[in-house]
Amino acid sequence: MIGKYGGRQGVSIGEGCERLGVIEHEIGHALGLWHEQSRPDAGEYIEVEKDFILPSYTSDFQMRSINLIPLKIEGLEKLTYKFFKGTNEINTLGIPYDYGSVMHYGSTAFSADGMSKTLLTRDPNYQYTIGQRERLSFYDIQVINKAYCEDAKCGAVLTLKDEWRTISSPNYEEDGYIENQMCSWILKAPKKQRIEIEFLEEFSFLCATTCVDYVELKLSKDQRNTGPRFCCYHKPEKSLISEGHQVAVIFRSQIGQDIGFKLQARATMKMVELKKQIIKTTTQKPTTIAGHNILSSWGQWSECSRPCGGCGIKSRVRICETAECE
């Protein structure tokens, strides 16, 4: 069954179907995905060998045409592959044909003798690509996003100039964020400029010693590196300046419900204010102060007396250079 029908809908995952890609394939059907070889443009990419297909499975290789009259189902106006009046037809949503889709059949799928090819790729280099059940492809994920999340008011790519632009976590002006939400904004300034960021108004996240719900700012030029994460009520009081002309702002909520954040950003020529302290690793020499004892620097901490997860003791020592140490 393709797409949502009625209330609760089962997903067929039988014995031998425990692989990730197989499960994703079946869930794809429930979300509205047809088989890739059923697309209306499939004939440009594959050739179906009908004579070798088991008769009861020929419909799985049928290519569908595009009908422009949408059929609404229970208030859901947009499905990954939309439903239409008449037979179930396909809307590709502008996504190219994908030989690597987890929804594509393999070369010998439902072959009558188990060996003859039922699908031939017009580009022979892809003959052994079709039929993978490893994981969702890039386009598999994109088509789901376009169908269900295209109008989401969360995350964006923003090109910044001199004037301030404002972004905030979901429902900031109303009841605040809920659990299991994630949004990303990519902020871009002209090259040779940087980005200035200031937090505004109320700021509140679930409090934890390590942030669980947070807003993260990737301020360094290396966007692969994790940026500082802010949570609880600990928002920066001063403006932050990026190292380069791009910043990623990532909002994540996992278990909490709270107000969230609001910030403003703009392009700037300001330089980064370096506040990192250089820590020397050389051992400090003992010093003598009149009327006081002479003590060496503290040594290294010992290993914990109990294994990880237990409650043990760690110790360190320093040397008293006189006999009068207390």
Average pLDDT over residues 306-312: 57
Residue 26 annotated as catalytic? yes
> Is 292 a known ligand-binding residue?
no
Q: What pLDDT band is residue 202 in, cutting at 50, 70 and 90?
A: very high
Centre a 10 Å sphere on the Cβ of residue 318 and count the other Cβ atoms it contains. Answer: 12
How confident is the model at residue 230, as a pLDDT?
95
- 197: domain CATH number? 2.60.120.290
Among the listed residues 53, 71, 70, the one whose alpha carbon sits nearest the alpha carbon of residue 62: 53
Residues 245, 134, single domain; the answer is no
> Is 234 a known ligand-binding residue?
no
Q: Can you read off the two tokens belonging to residue 142?
A: 């994109």
Q: How far apart are CA 177 and CA 11, in angstroms?
A: 31
Question: Which of these three, 216, 234, 268, is where a domain ends?
Answer: 268
Residues 167, 249, single domain; the answer is yes
**Per-residue pLDDT reduced to its tens digit, 131-168:** 999 999 999 999 998 888 766 667 888 999 999 999 99
Average pLDDT over residues 56-84: 58
Which residue shows structure tokens 């031998």? 16
Domain presence at residue 34: yes
Which residue shows structure tokens 């799985």? 60
Does residue 112 carry a pLDDT above 50?
yes
Does residue 204 carry a pLDDT above 80?
yes
Q: Can you read off the two tokens belonging to residue 273?
A: 């204010």
State which residues form the domain around 160.
Answer: 156-268
Q: Which of 26, 49, 202, 243 is catalytic?
A: 26
Q: Global pTM?
A: 0.51
Residues 35, 107, single domain; the answer is yes
- 121: domain CATH number? 3.40.390.10
> Is 104 a known ligand-binding residue?
no
How confident is the model at residue 297, as a pLDDT?
64
**Per-residue pLDDT reduced to its tens digit, 250-285:** 999 998 889 999 999 999 997 765 454 333 333 344
> What is the domain count for the chain?
2
212 Cβ contact list (under 8 Å, min separation 6): 206, 231, 254, 255, 256
Domain presence at residue 284: no
Residues 176, 137, single domain; the answer is no
For the chain, give the longest Cα–Cα distance: 103
Question: Which of these three, 93, 128, 148, is where a domain ends?
Answer: 148
Q: Can you read off the two tokens belonging to residue 2?
A: 């393709």
Element (H, E) at 24: helix 20-31
How many CA atoms does the CB half-sphere of 158 hold within 13 Å?
A: 22
Handedness of CA 127, 133, 138, 142 (dihedral sign): positive
Q: What pLDDT band is residue 93 in, cutting at 50, 70 and 90?
A: confident
